[in-house]
Every structure is written in structure tokens, then in C-alpha cells.
Amino acid sequence: MRDHLIIFDTTLRDGEQSPGASMTKEEKVRIARQLERMGVDVIEAGFPAASNGDFEAVKAVADTIKDSVVCGLARAIEADINRAGEALRGANAARIHTFIATSPIHMKNKLRMSPEQVIEQAVKAIQWARRYTDNIEFSPEDAGRSEINFLCRVLEAVIDAGAKTLNIPDTVGYTMPDQFGRLIRTLRERIPNSDKVVFSVHCHNDLGLAVANSLSAVINGARQVECTINGLGERAGNAALEEVVMAVRTRQDFFPCDTRIDTTHIVPASKLVSGITGFPVQPNKAIVGANAFAHESGIHQDGVLKHRETYEIMRAEDVGWGANKLLLGKHSGRNAFRSRLKELGIEFESEEMLNTMFVRFKDLADKKHEIFDEDLHALVSDEVQTPEEHYRLLSLIAHSETGEIPFARVVIADGNNELHAESEGSGPVDATFRAIEKILNSGAELQLFSVNNITSGTDAQGEVTVRLQKSGRIVNGHGADTDIVVASAKAYLSAFNKLYSKLEKAHPQV
């Protein structure tokens, strides 16, 4: 029998730590449902002690998900563990993931603790977490730069204290594949009680080696990989789930294990995460990039036509390309609309909300004949993305003509008030943003403006991401529309609303 390789997805926790990628509770639940559908074993839903927003999001995921274990992160301190335990109370199956740094540089400069104090705190944390669940994971942060004898001592102690999964993070993406593989093997061989736990790995991609390091660890006995959709994550990101899963699946001759992932859900998951976070997927990205299965050279095309396997090691349809179902047209009824949304894991709290969405769907169907799942996700994100949406776009006129100065006039709703402004700009989007700024006067710095087509064709909706920065706070806003200037205005307002929303985000990893 082949071993089971546990897939632990941390898109909602480490992935969310990418600057500007913070997600609302509703967005996290939608992604979690997609991960559950895909067969992810463990979903790390967030860091409950980081903020009330994170707590509520982890709780909402825990209360919704039935088929995956839901995990919450906690520093190795009682207060964090209590928050995680409380947030996970409603879960069908819960895991607490607690961590403390073990490298000399972290212990000395960040924690200001001696190695003995670190061991003591790690053990206490496991004992405390057992009040809530037996499913406890421990991570020695910065294991990749920790001293091996000390690492063995800490890990032996936390196994004795009751940890069931030992996760070895290469926190700063420093190790080389061979070296990291050897580290896992050494730990398994040297720690006397290592057979009582599952070894897991969590690799960062600073040197572009996160997937290679994770796979090297699997060859050396790791049986859980922590990863994220599209490789999202702190700095250069984490190991990409789709790459780890497809490497193991494609090379069953090489790996002694396999995952239980239904790979046909991979591309829809990638698009969902990209749409919600506003982080586009580069075209040449393995598995989920638009060019991943496109053959340009004539020789390759000819080869593939004669025999697919001459140049393809995987089938596009096996990872979910072409899986977007043609949904509904302008003649579709409310029930069909509701049931497709339900299949996508989207349910509304009120009938009123469904009605609003149905009207927006009909408007879109008038402009765009074929509506795909991605269009529906964008529509929903657009409508429900900011819980405290304050400013809304009421109308926009943007004028651009060869040889003329572009010009925009906007009307924005502020509660029951209508605010009007107009401006010129270097293009219609610039003019629109300037007009909006005349009203909002936010002084925020525009850090990113990106436009992506959601589906193909010139009638596709454009999805715009706007990243604003003010006083150290960075937020992404999104807007979707078949008119990209309108999508841009919506994205700007969405970012502004988030910037001033009371939902503070913080990641106190000290």
C-alpha cells in the first residue's frame, strides 16, 4: 500500500500574509469550501490571535467545513492557544498548530530567550493545547537554520508532551533540496520517539526552491506538505500546492506515496484565489499558468497532434483546464442561478441579497452571452467583498478621444448622500482615480493597478486590482465589469473602503 501524503493548505494563513492579500471572512469561507471540494486534508484557516477579524474568519471556516481538518495557528503562549481553541470549537475536526523559533538568530535577537527556556515554553504550549484537542502540530520556526542537536532535543520533548505532527519550516527559504531532505532523514533517525509523529514540511520560496525542498523532504520520509494555492505566501511565497500534488501524481514511479487530491479542482481553485486576492498568475506558471499546456513551436504542435505524450507529461483536463462550465444565459431563472451558486459553495444570508445578485447577473448576461463560473465568482466578490462598504460607485462617465485630454465625471454614494466630482487625467482610468480622490481626499499611495481578463474574448469582464497604502497599512481592492474603467473605479473604492474598515489585520509573529 502506498503511503498517504497529507496536504496541508495554508493559503488562508501564510498565503494571506502576502502584502495586500488579506481576505474577508466570506472570501475565506469560499476558498475553504473549494479546498474541501478538492480533497485537502488540513486547511489552516488563519491565526486567531492576530486580530478579531482573523478569529471570526477561522471560526466561520471551522463552523462550515466538514470533510477537512480545520487548523488555527498560535504562538507557543497560552493566550494565543486559547484564541485558537475557541475559534475552532465548532469544527468537525480541529487542529492547533503552535510554533516557537529555534534558530540561534531568532532565539537571541527576536525572542531574547535561552535555548532551555524555548524548550520549556514549547512543552508547556503543547500541554496547554491538549485542553482543546489531541490533534496538535508543532513547528520549530526557522528550523532550516537551527542547530541540529538542539532541534532534536526540542522535538523529542514536544513529542513526549503530545504533539502529533512535527512541521519543519524553512522559514526564510535558505536550504538546498539535498540538505533539507537530509535534515528530515536525520531528524527521523536521531529522535528516539520519532515514529510516534508525522513529519511535515513548510518551505518558503525565497530562492525559488520551496517545491524542490518539499519534494526532497517527501523522498526522505516527510508525509505532510504545507503549501498554498498558486504558491501564495509571505515574501516570495510557499510551495505551490498544484506543483507538489502534480509532481507526486505524475511521478508515481518515483514517490512512494500519493495524495487524495481531486486534481480536476486545481485550476478553478487557482482562479478563485487569484480573483479574490488580486494576485495574477504568471502565464508560464507550472500547472495553472495560461501557457502551461500551450504549444507554440510547430514541431511541438505536430508531435502532440501525432501522439500527445511526445511533449505533454500531464493532461490539461486532469488539472481542471476547460472545466469551467458554461453556466447560464440571459434566459436562465433564479433557481438555476441559485443552485449553480450553491454548487460553487456560495450561499447568501438573505433572499434580498440573492435578488440583488440575480439582477446583477442579468445585467451581465445582457452584455456578455456566455457566463462562466469565474464570472460568477467575480460578481459575488464585487458585491460582498467589503463588509463595511461605505462608498459606492453610482455612475461614471469617462471620455477618451484621440488628440483630446481624457476626462471623467463620477458620482459616489456616501450613505444617502451623492458626491460628484470631475477631473482630467493622462487616460480615462487616471482621470477617474483623480476624480474619486477629489471626493475622498484619502492621500493614499497607489501601489498597484492591474487588469486581467476573467475569461477569454473581448466581451470578457476585466478584473481590476488596486493596491493602496496609507500609514503602513496595505490593502487590495477588486472590481469586475465588462467596462474596465468602471471595474477600475469599483476597485479603487473597494480598496478605499477596506483601508478605512475597522477590521484591523495584524500578524504578530514575534
The partner in contact with residue 141, picked from ligand KIV, Zn ion, none with C-beta cut-offs of 5 to 8 angstroms by kind, is ligand KIV
| Residue 41 contacts ligand KIV per CB under 6 A | no
Q: How many residues bind ligand KIV (CB under 6 A)?
A: 9
CB nearer ligand KIV, residue 204 or residue 285: 204
Q: Mask: binding to ligand KIV, 201-220, rule CB under 6 A, as x and -?
A: -x-x----------------
Question: Are residues 146 and 153 in contact, defined by beta-carbon separation less than 8 angstroms?
Answer: no
CB nearer ligand KIV, residue 173 or residue 221: 173
| Residue 14 contacts ligand KIV per CB under 6 A | yes
Options 9-17, 53-61, 281-289, 374-382: segment touching Zn ion (CB under 5 A): 9-17
In whole angstroms, give the CA distance from residue 445 to residue 505: 19
Options 163-171, 272-280, 346-354, 455-463: segment touching ligand KIV (CB under 6 A): 163-171
Element (H, E) at 455: none
In whole angstroms, give the CA distance from residue 204 to residue 186: 21
In whole angstroms, give the CA distance from residue 51 to residue 381: 22
Per-position DSSP letters for 227-246, written without gaps between them: EBGGG--STT-B-BHHHHHH
In whole angstroms, give the CA distance from residue 428 to residue 150: 60
Q: How many residues bind Zn ion (CB under 5 A)?
A: 1
The partner in contact with residue 374, picked from Zn ion, ligand KIV, none with C-beta cut-offs of 5 to 8 angstroms by kind, is none
CB nearer ligand KIV, residue 58 or residue 460: 58
In whole angstroms, give the CA distance from residue 67 to residue 85: 19
Question: Are residues 452 and 430 in contact, defined by beta-carbon separation less than 8 angstroms?
Answer: no
Residue of 24, 51, 171, 205 that binds ligand KIV (CB under 6 A)? 171
CB of 266 to ligand KIV, least distance (A): 23
Options 166-174, 274-282, 378-386, 431-439: segment touching ligand KIV (CB under 6 A): 166-174
DSSP state of 204: B
CB nearer Zn ion, residue 18 or residue 270: 18
Please give the torsion angle defined by the CA atoms of residues 489, 495, 496 and 497, in that order, rounded to the nearest 10 degrees: 110
List phi, psi (to 5°) of 119: -60, -45
List phi, psi (to 5°) of 204: -95, 160
The partner in contact with residue 99, picked from ligand KIV, Zn ion, none with C-beta cut-offs of 5 to 8 angstroms by kind, is ligand KIV
Closest CA to 226 of 475, 454, 9: 9
In whole angstroms, give the CA distance from residue 81 to residue 67: 23
Site for Zn ion in 77-136 (CB under 5 A): none
CB nearer Zn ion, residue 44 or residue 463: 44
Residue nearest to Zn ion (CB): 14
The partner in contact with residue 200, picked from ligand KIV, Zn ion, none with C-beta cut-offs of 5 to 8 angstroms by kind, is none
Site for ligand KIV in 89-148 (CB under 6 A): 99, 139, 141
Closest CA to 178 of 219, 236, 235, 232: 219
Cell numbers linked to 397: 462617465
CA distances for 398 relative to 182, 366, 424, 437, angstroms: 60, 21, 10, 15
The partner in contact with residue 275, picked from ligand KIV, Zn ion, none with C-beta cut-offs of 5 to 8 angstroms by kind, is none
Residue of 48, 72, 169, 428 that binds ligand KIV (CB under 6 A)? 169
CB nearer ligand KIV, residue 145 or residue 473: 145
Question: Do the bridges between strand 198-203 and strand 136-141 make them parallel or antiparallel, or are there none, so unpaired?
Answer: unpaired
In whole angstroms, give the CA distance from residue 116 to residue 405: 68
Element (H, E) at 434: helix 428-440
Residue 14 is labelled as binding a ligand:
yes
In whole angstroms, give the CA distance from residue 59 to residue 51: 12
List phi, psi (to 5°) of 144: -60, -25
**Who's near 143: CB < 8 A, 6+ residues apart?**
102, 103, 151, 168, 169, 170, 171, 183
Residue of 9, 14, 56, 137 that binds Zn ion (CB under 5 A)? 14
Residue 399 is labelled as binding a ligand:
no
In whole angstroms, give the CA distance from residue 27 to residue 45: 11
Site for ligand KIV in 399-418 (CB under 6 A): none
Options 14-22, 178-186, 205-213, 482-490: segment touching Zn ion (CB under 5 A): 14-22
| Residue 170 contacts Zn ion per CB under 5 A | no
The partner in contact with residue 139, picked from Zn ion, ligand KIV, none with C-beta cut-offs of 5 to 8 angstroms by kind, is ligand KIV
Cell numbers linked to 453: 481578463
Options 165-173, 180-188, 342-350, 481-489: segment touching ligand KIV (CB under 6 A): 165-173
CB of 368 to ligand KIV, least distance (A): 40
CB nearer ligand KIV, residue 227 or residue 486: 227
Contacts with ligand KIV by CB under 6 A lie at 14, 99, 139, 141, 167, 169, 171, 202, 204
Contacts with Zn ion by CB under 5 A lie at 14
Binding region: 14, 202, 204, 238
Binding region for Mn(2+): 14, 202, 204, 238
